[in-house]
Amino acid sequence: GQNIDQPTEMTATEGAIVQINCTYQTSGFNGLFWYQQHAGEAPTFLSYNVLDGLEEKGRFSSFLSRSKGYSYLLLKELQMKDSASYLCAVRASSGTYKYIFGTGTRLKVLA
């Protein structure tokens, strides 16, 4: 079967660093996306990994290890506006552009 696991909830303090993990067991692997979703809003794209290693985009970085079926999203210098859900999504098949989403991690940033 196809499965993506993320922690349900995390709490962190404004100005801190937080790491949100995502592990996947899928029939294949053709890329992993991270999205941010504020309550009541649509998901928006944050980052993409297809090769092992770290991708950095300002305060956000994402890491991938394909051999371990593991990714993380690192958020630095946390701000109150970073309180949101973070969704991990995997494109499992090379023949289609269908994606499997994890259930998301709800991050609360406290003052």
Q: Which is nearer to other proteins, 27 or 111 (CB)?
A: 27
Q: Which is nearer to other proteins, 34 or 63 (CB)?
A: 34
> What are the structure tokens assigned to 76, written together?
């630095």
Q: Which is nearer to other proteins, 2 or 13 (CB)?
A: 2
| Opening angle at CA 13, ends 5 and 90, nearest 5 | 20
- Interface residues toward other proteins, by CB under 8 A: 30-31, 33, 35, 41-45, 48, 50, 87, 89, 91, 96-104
**Cβ 75 to other proteins, closest distance in Å?**
18
As a whole number of angstroms, the distance between CA 29 and CA 100 comes to 11
**Cβ 95 to other proteins, closest distance in Å?**
10
